[in-house]
Amino acid sequence: MLAIDAIDDADVETVVALWQRCGLTRPWNDPHADIALARRRENSTVLIGRDAAAIVASVMVGHDGHRGWVYYVAVDPDGRKRGYGRAIMAAAEEWLRQAGIAKLQLLVRRENAQANAFYQSLGFEESTSVMFQKWLDGRETTASN
């Protein structure tokens, strides 16, 4: 059984290490800063899942008042196929429901077939919207960012 709760200060380094093991971090996003930002506001948080004392799953969840978003959905590679991903996503959905949010969106890289299949198995559908991006710090957009 996965015990799910909000991240504490003592959990931050373990969660960052989990994200790194899962290949979720990118050089242009500081995971420590992302966690701090999510914890500063009432409209976002980081949920963690523990099996016994070990952190084995996480999700950053937030909303803009209309749509919910999830990021950093992670399950320890040694703990996959145990339902942890489904459990942490269900917790994120419930967190958003409690906030009165009716729609959940997420971004997945097209080449990540495993993640795409996972989200489809949870009832997610590919959006018909096109995503645009613009770096506000002057960076050039590349295929990887």
Sign of CA dihedral 94, 95, 101, 104: negative
Q: What is the pTM of this model?
A: 0.90
The domain limits of the chain are: 3-107
∠ CA 127-93-78, nearest 5°, is 95
Binned at pLDDT 50, 70 and 90, residue 143 comes out as low
% of the chain exceeding 90 in pLDDT: 74
Candidates 3.40.630.30, 3.50.50.60, 1.10.760.10, 3.30.930.10; CATH matching 3-107? 3.40.630.30
The rounded distance, in Å, linking the Cα atoms of 41 and 38 is 6
DSSP labels, 30-51 = -HHHHHHHHHHSTTEEEEEEEE
Residues 2-38: tens digit of each pLDDT = 999 999 999 999 999 999 999 999 988 899 999 999 9
Residues 102-136: tens digit of each pLDDT = 999 999 888 889 999 999 999 999 998 888 888 88
Structure-token match 């967190």, residue found: 95
